[in-house]
Structure 1
Amino acid sequence: MKKRVSHIIALLAVLALVSCSTKKNTAFTRFYHSFTTRYNVYFNGIENYKEQIKTMENEYEDNFTDLIYMHPAQAYANPKDPQPTGSFDRTIEKCQKAIQLHSIKKKPRRNSKKMSDPKYRDYLKRDEFNPYIHNAWRLMGQAQYYKGEFLEAAATFLYISRHFTWMPDLVAESKLWQARCYIALGWLYEAEDILQKINNDKLPESQNNWFATVNADYLIHKGEYQKAIPFLETAIKSAPSKRQRIRLTFLLGQLYEKTQDPTRAYQTFGQVISMNPPYRTEFNARIKQTEVFSGKNIDKEVKKLTRMASRDRNKEYLDQIYYAIGNLYLSRKDTLKAMENYRLANQKSTRNGIEKAICQVTLGDLYFDRREYVDAQPCYAEALPQLKEDFPRYDLLSRRSTVLDELVVYAQNVELQDSLQNLAAMSEEERNKAIQKIIDDLIKKEKEEAENLKREEYLAQQQGPQFNSSNAAKNNATLISGDKSWYFYNKTMVSAGKTEFQRIWGSRKLEDDWRRRNKSGFSMSDFAEKTAGGGGEEGGAEFDENGMPVEEIPDSAETAAADDPHKPEFYLKQIPMTPEALETSNEVVAEGLFNMGLILKNKLEDYPAAIANFNLLEERFLENPYRLDVYYNMYLMYMRDGDEATAGIYRDKIRSTFPESPYAQAMADPHYLDNLRRMSTEQDSIYEATYAAYLENDNRTVHDNRAFMEQKYPLSPLMPKFLFLDALAHVGDKQYDQFKEGLRNLLERYPQADVSPLASTMLKGVAQGRQVAQGGGNLRGMIWKARLTNDTTTVFNDSVRATFTQDLNAPHVLLLVYATDSVSSNQLLFDVAKHNFTNFVVKDFDLEIMTFNEISMLVVKGFSNFEELSHYRRLLDNSETFRYPPGVKPIMISEDNFKKLLEGYSFEDYFLFLENNPQPTEPYEER
């Protein structure tokens, strides 16, 4: 009997399982799968989801120097930001399992008696009949969002909004989630479209708070902070956790600050402090209060910050405290006190990061505004590596830093040579005393640094790994930081000087007159053509029996002493003691003063400082080689200031002292100033016509236009380009000697022009026996002849071709290639991503922007073979919404062949391969 009962129970269980298949749609199967989804798979997923959300919100460290994110997950949109913790893979896996095992797509058996009921007919039209499965879809989309998979999350919520139409609250919520995914991706137009439509479609009341949250996020990303404030206030009230309420309240204070409402900002940051936040948040809220303080008396705030600085728990934040004190003084226009505290903030900083960088930028701006450029330079130089490219004013700061890097090199050269010359003018006894003092100071400083380092290491051992000793290491690395005395004895600085020399002057050959302006980056000896006889030895050199030059072996003891900053020989060898050495030192000073004047005039537009440098150059070196350029620049500056009388003095100097110069010839024209004004507009049209003539092999027009420009506008900034085209046109005339002479003329006159590196490469190639490619298309095809490396572009025919292969079954990529800076890379990336999202819901493609000098490309990856790529290409070409920007060329290529391109081959090599091995769909090879 017992056996019969057990058999019956087993049979019933089997029947129940069979009847619960998702291929059946009965009341029992719907109940079973709903129950199982909710209390089995979904339960495990939601528990992991809650745990990971809490971990992410509690452990993520916000960047309080900028607008903080509404949620840490948004940091995934910026790979350069610290990425949040928390893994949602288990949640996604559980949701996918629930959908796969328990989704009921089968239509139920129709009840003819109910067919007259519209609700019943609508019920039969549903795409899903598991009454709980929508929760799994929603949870999966949310987990994908918080994982940073915004595109996948958007696709999930799009699916929900299309396939659960009988649940209006769920559809509205999903559309809002979809908009938030678009916001994270930067697709603000698409997000705005959703938000406007859903608002106009009578948003369900249950979604009002969620709409406020998403709309606030959208308005903040759009920069409309005033409009975002009321929505953010609503979002704070409905925040799902205390940590989120604290974060959003802090963000609200930042918005009040952005909208110039310091009183409310101060109060809001006070609310953050009263919410018992984590200490780092509380600390930054107090710092922010000082930044927006609008009271009349700052003494109370300064004392509050000073007390904070005295607490041990704030040692790590001393830089921020002194920065905040500096801000208070700056708000009261007390620049000196502000700068004093900013400098103190930099000294007290124990970590490199955005906080220190902002302090350095602020201090650098103050130095820059005071025209103290040498002091501003290290502030910008140290700050920039810590800043992201989306930092406000990043481009301006980068340009300033680059200009000041160049300016400071010349300023330091002048300061160093003046110091060396002062030493040379001393008596031997005074000089030796001065050198010995330098050595003594060095030994003393090294001893102090060693003791400080030992003390820091000891404290680190006592206090554990939390103690930050990076400051000590940093101080030990820079032995002369802030030292106004001589700095060239420091090995670190000597090494840095060598690096800086190569950055400014390039890798130089040891040759005479290396410092002349026509030696920038090349030597004319590089262009000497090879001869059969060889030779080239300089007279007076001694050679061994093998013809090798005999070098004198220096004394090892003398060499060691000359390289040791603790020995007098190290300093004596740098002092210009001979007339020849003094002359060289004066050349460095003259060059430094001249280039400082040019930089101040052209790149900083500080005319008074530029005039002062040019005047000092004239006073110290009456016969300096830069007089012509100095006179012309002085003329331009005084004319711009409206001082025609003084400008006339320099015009007369040019015409009397340098009558054969291009400047004098141009100024001989009574309409010179009018020509100068017209030059900026006329030169562009003339150059365009010249370029077009070159492409059409109309070489006579090219030569004529170059001659016209040299006569009418000899000072045109486009003159190097005219000379370059003129030289290339001689190739079409088969006048190779004139071609080489034209390039040499270009390099001699304009060594720093943008076309000079290419001209230099051409001339070197000719000297090495390479043949020049002929025809006007030569210039047009440069982009395809360029190598995908960092090497200088070459336009010469190569005898070696890449060994490409054709495997249609191998993985392929699509390259959208264009000339760098001719197309907006971000816009192209956005357009292709939008096309992919619209046409491929399941399939995902990787997009990557790559840049190689003249060539840039968008790489579309994810095609397993050529056939898949061809299908994708047809959809892209025939899309109604996507259009190739002008100048973009699509190229289909296998991954293996693409790797060969990246190894240094050109697209021309690949095109030649395709000519002999055409792909099966020729219309799609080239557009």
Structure 2
Amino acid sequence: MIRRYWLLGLLALVSACSQQSTKPAAVAFHNLNAKYNAIWQADRLKKSLQKKFWEEHKEDYKSMLPIIPAIDSTFGQQHATDIDLVIKKASLVIDRHQNSHFVDDAYTLIGWGRYIKKDYKNALETFKFVNSIDNDPRSQSTSLIHLYQIYIHQHDFTSAEKVGEFIQSLDLSQTQKNNYLLSRAYYHQSKKELIPTIALLEEIIPSLSSGEEKARLYFILGQLFESQGKNQLALESYAKVKKSKASYELQFHATLAVHQLNNAPEELEKMIREPKNEDHVPALYAALGEIYFKNKEFDKAKEYWTKGGKSGSDRGELYLQLGNLFAKQLKRFDDAAKYYDSAATYMSPNHAAYASTQKLKTTWSTYLQLSKAVSQEDSLLKLSNMSLAELTDMYQKTQKKQQRKADSILTKNIPVQNTVIFTRRPASPEQQSFYFNNDQARIQGQQEFSNKWGLRTLEDFWNRKNKNNNLTNRIVDLTQNSSNASSENIKASNDIPVLSDSLQIWLNTIPKSPAQLSQVKKREEDALFELGKFVRLELGEKEQASILLKKLLTNYPGTSHEAEALYLLYLSSDKDSPAQKNYRSQLFDRFPTAYFKQLILKIENGSLTETNELAAQKAYELAYGQFKANNYSEASRQCQQILQQFPGSNLEDKVVFLKALCYGGLKEFTSYQDNLKNFILAFPKSPLTTEAEALLKAYTKNKN
């Protein structure tokens, strides 16, 4: 009998464990196991991961801090094991405790795990599902707030607004209310709506207990006030950071912001000398540079930014600021190009300015190449006007200077502290007969070797004539021309007495004959034009472009680039200024059929009316009819008339292309080629551009 009761009790206990049962005992059993087993373990892992996130998160204090930091995908990758374990533990509740009251909590944890892994697509689906399976206000509100944050991260503000309106209708706990208000403030911050962002932060902050979170929000509030020019309110917010039990890192940057607002470089100098700020010295140098930059003391700004750029994690950003300083304020473009190159090298791929910095590097590298090409040809022309004695003197001075530099480098590279010093007795007269024991003979031999061979690296085949190109490159960059040294130049230098092989090699690269000088001048003419055009159109530097293009027209009157140079000078001049009117007049008088004249008319007249567009259409049809009838001269005349009468019409690309074809029909191939090139440059997005490129390629191939 007792055995029968025991079996019945066991059967009742087993039936109570079923996750399909809705009996109170079964539900209580599964609630207990779900909450204090899987959910408890998953929640503990979640809190640990949240703590790690803030420990590993690096703030960019130079930019506006986001109220809710974006999830970094690298964090999800580094902690994938723990995140997967959160999801796995939460999934146990769904698999084994379906009748418990914690299934919605399990799905919320799974959604959070996907959110922190930046798997937004699946996280969104999970949070949406939570709201469809249960009406528990607690889990529903939590999942909706996460849903709201994801939409903001994705900049899907329309969906975020709908979710936000729904959240406002719910009865939230104080913690959930704070989380929602913070998310709401982040929503307005992401939309750059600063006034509602400030209002929400001022509402939230007093309800928070002192700690890192509260201090961080005070810092953001200070940044917001500062961005609006409300410096006094910003100073008050930064002062409250210290009173909120902030970390030293946050306190340091709050103090830094205060001194910058107060324009107090002397306070920053004091901070540099404090041992506790040793790791923050680059940031202090950067802040000092910003203060002097705002005060228009550009040389001091350069000095401190250069010091800050020698170390620290912000090297890329500091080099970018230096590049901007040299480009925009100091107008030292070659230096700007070098700093932009360094900025692109050191800029973190995660930095907001990474893509734009890479683009700046490419643009300014092109500028540097064009600038070097101009300098190279100019140097060659200057050297060609010097006498042999002047060239020899220049060579020897440069060689001695380079020798001193090499000696100083060797001296610096000697690790004195590790050098073992050997002492020996002075060599006897008999021993001094050996060359290496005789100091005087050895020094004299070094000098004789240097005079004959120049600087030579200790390597195989050191005595070949073409080994010593270093000096040549330091006097003038002849890399593009050394391979083109012609037989004429060699003949011209046969009468020159050879002082040394290295000197003779260098002299052979300097143009002397009329043909060589003509080639150098043509290269300089083209390089000047390309540089001036690039500076105006790509860099937008009107003043520098004007200097270069004026030099082109002065040094090379009648240049083949004159029409376009006048057009670029027109663009670089102040509107309606005498200079602009002068360039316009010259272009219109000297080049009445040039396409650049039509571009100026288009700028001045704007778009055409509908009536004029119809008139242009009819005129184009007449011109095209003449072209089909092989009346190329008349077709070309009519095209020119259309361009002058209807500048900026919708058919402009067709008219210009037809005019180019007319030159081909007339067998005026130079004009044909030039007009095709101009068409490709002027209308890169025209459907006719592909055909124009094919015609130009075919003509060039047949010509060669």
- For normalisation by structure 2, the TM-score amounts to 0.71
Partner AA of 1:412 in structure 2: K
Q: CA deviation at 1:191?
A: 1.0
The corresponding residue for 2:127 is: 157
What is the rounded CA distance, in whole Å, between the counterparts of 1:701 and 1:17 in structure 2?
Answer: 100
Q: Deviations over 1:311-338 (max 9, x none)?
A: 4963x65432222111222333333322
What is the rounded CA distance, in whole Å, between the counterparts of 1:640 and 1:422 in structure 2?
Answer: 37
One of 225, 234, 237 as aligned partner of 2:194: 225
The corresponding residue for 2:262 is: 294
What is the rounded CA distance, in whole Å, between the counterparts of 1:763 and 1:41 in structure 2?
Answer: 73
Partner AA of 1:342 in structure 2: W
Aligned length: 623
Q: CA deviation at 1:387?
A: 7.0
Partners of 1:287 and 1:320 within 8 A in 2: no
Q: CA deviation at 1:30?
A: 0.3
Q: CA deviation at 1:32?
A: 0.9
One of 48, 53, 61 as aligned partner of 1:64: 61
Partner AA of 2:530 in structure 1: N
Q: CA deviation at 1:91?
A: 0.6
Q: Are 2:593 and 1:662 equivalent residues in the alignment?
A: yes
Q: CA deviation at 1:185?
A: 2.1
Q: CA deviation at 1:11?
A: 7.1
What is the rounded CA distance, in whole Å, between the counterparts of 1:376 and 1:710 in structure 2?
Answer: 43
Partner AA of 1:214 in structure 2: S
One of 176, 193, 196 as aligned partner of 1:207: 176
What is the rounded CA distance, in whole Å, between the counterparts of 2:380 and 2:696 in structure 1?
Answer: 40
What is the rounded CA distance, in whole Å, between the counterparts of 2:665 and 2:565 in structure 1?
Answer: 37
Partners of 1:60 and 1:84 within 8 A in 2: no
Q: Are 2:28 and 1:44 equivalent residues in the alignment?
A: no
Q: Deviations over 1:573-627 (max 9, x none)?
A: 5433443333333223333333344345445555554443333334433454434
* Residues 61-70 or 744-753, more deviating: 744-753
One of 179, 188, 212 as aligned partner of 2:148: 179
The corresponding residue for 2:311 is: 349
**Structure whose residues are more often helix by fraction:** 2
What is the rounded CA distance, in whole Å, between the counterparts of 2:504 and 2:280 in structure 1?
Answer: 45
The 1:700–1:255 alpha-carbon spacing in structure 2 relative to 1, beyond 3 Å, is: farther
Partners of 1:75 and 1:84 within 8 A in 2: no
Partner AA of 1:584 in structure 2: Q
One of 569, 578, 585 as aligned partner of 2:520: 585
CA RMSD of superposed structures (Å): 5.3
Q: CA deviation at 1:55?
A: 1.5
What is the rounded CA distance, in whole Å, between the counterparts of 1:286 and 1:387 in structure 2?
Answer: 26
Q: Deviations over 1:813-852 (max 9, x none)?
A: xxxxxxxxxxxxxxxxxxxxxxxxxxxxxxxxxxxxxxxx
* Aligned-residue identity in percent: 18
The 1:186–1:612 alpha-carbon spacing in structure 2 relative to 1, beyond 3 Å, is: closer
The corresponding residue for 1:722 is: 654
The corresponding residue for 2:458 is: none
What is the rounded CA distance, in whole Å, between the counterparts of 1:327 and 1:100 in structure 2?
Answer: 59
The corresponding residue for 1:417 is: 377
What is the rounded CA distance, in whole Å, between the counterparts of 1:337 and 1:584 in structure 2?
Answer: 44
The corresponding residue for 1:307 is: 273
1:714-793 alignment, distance < 5 Å: 721-722=653-654, 726=658, 744=673, 746-750=675-679, 752=681, 754=684, 759-761=692-694
Partner AA of 1:135 in structure 2: D
What is the rounded CA distance, in whole Å, between the counterparts of 2:202 and 2:254 in structure 1?
Answer: 18
One of 585, 606, 618 as aligned partner of 1:651: 585
Partners of 1:349 and 1:356 within 8 A in 2: no
The corresponding residue for 1:711 is: 641
Partner AA of 1:39 in structure 2: Y
Q: CA deviation at 1:768?
A: 9.6
- The secondary structure found in structure 1 opposite 2:473 is coil
One of 317, 322, 334 as aligned partner of 1:374: 334
What is the rounded CA distance, in whole Å, between the counterparts of 1:597 and 1:359 in structure 2?
Answer: 26
Q: Are 2:252 and 1:257 equivalent residues in the alignment?
A: no
The corresponding residue for 2:446 is: none
Q: Deviations over 1:231-268 (max 9, x none)?
A: 33555566699554454443333323323233343444
What is the rounded CA distance, in whole Å, between the counterparts of 2:13 and 2:616 in structure 1?
Answer: 82
Q: CA deviation at 1:64?
A: 2.4
What is the rounded CA distance, in whole Å, between the counterparts of 2:505 and 2:6 in structure 1?
Answer: 99
Q: CA deviation at 1:43?
A: 1.9
Partners of 1:364 and 1:377 within 8 A in 2: no
* Residues 706-715 or 429-438, more deviating: 706-715
Q: Are 2:160 and 1:191 equivalent residues in the alignment?
A: yes
Partner AA of 2:333 in structure 1: Y
Q: Which runs of 5+ in 1 are unaligned?
A: 105-129, 459-485, 502-509, 513-539, 541-560, 770-927
The 1:642–1:283 alpha-carbon spacing in structure 2 relative to 1, beyond 3 Å, is: same
Partners of 1:144 and 1:152 within 8 A in 2: yes
The 1:577–1:219 alpha-carbon spacing in structure 2 relative to 1, beyond 3 Å, is: same
Q: CA deviation at 1:362?
A: 5.5
The corresponding residue for 2:139 is: 170
1:465-864 alignment, distance < 5 Å: 489=473, 568=503, 571-603=506-538, 606-631=541-566, 633-634=568-569, 640-643=575-578, 647=581, 651=585, 655=589, 658=590, 662-663=593-594, 677-678=604-605, 680-681=607-608, 708-713=638-643, 721-722=653-654, 726=658, 744=673, 746-750=675-679, 752=681, 754=684, 759-761=692-694
Partners of 2:289 and 2:301 within 8 A in 1: yes
What is the rounded CA distance, in whole Å, between the counterparts of 1:213 and 1:697 in structure 2?
Answer: 70
Q: CA deviation at 1:744?
A: 4.8
Q: Are 2:110 and 1:137 equivalent residues in the alignment?
A: no
Partners of 1:628 and 1:654 within 8 A in 2: no
- For normalisation by structure 1, the TM-score amounts to 0.56
Partners of 1:326 and 1:338 within 8 A in 2: yes
The corresponding residue for 1:428 is: 388
Q: Deviations over 1:873-905 (max 9, x none)?
A: xxxxxxxxxxxxxxxxxxxxxxxxxxxxxxxxx
What is the rounded CA distance, in whole Å, between the counterparts of 1:570 and 1:262 in structure 2?
Answer: 66
Partner AA of 2:375 in structure 1: E
What is the rounded CA distance, in whole Å, between the counterparts of 1:687 and 1:142 in structure 2?
Answer: 65
What is the rounded CA distance, in whole Å, between the counterparts of 1:455 and 1:248 in structure 2?
Answer: 51
What is the rounded CA distance, in whole Å, between the counterparts of 1:602 and 1:184 in structure 2?
Answer: 37
The 1:226–1:761 alpha-carbon spacing in structure 2 relative to 1, beyond 3 Å, is: same
The corresponding residue for 1:340 is: 303
Partners of 2:194 and 2:224 within 8 A in 1: yes
Partner AA of 2:514 in structure 1: P
What is the rounded CA distance, in whole Å, between the counterparts of 2:616 and 2:77 in structure 1?
Answer: 49
Q: CA deviation at 1:147?
A: 2.5
Q: CA deviation at 1:92?
A: 0.9
Partners of 1:679 and 1:713 within 8 A in 2: no
The 1:398–1:641 alpha-carbon spacing in structure 2 relative to 1, beyond 3 Å, is: farther
What is the rounded CA distance, in whole Å, between the counterparts of 1:173 and 1:632 in structure 2?
Answer: 63
Larger radius of gyration: 2
- The secondary structure found in structure 1 opposite 2:339 is helix
Q: Are 2:18 and 1:21 equivalent residues in the alignment?
A: yes
Q: CA deviation at 1:51?
A: 1.6
Q: Are 2:71 and 1:75 equivalent residues in the alignment?
A: yes
Partner AA of 1:418 in structure 2: D
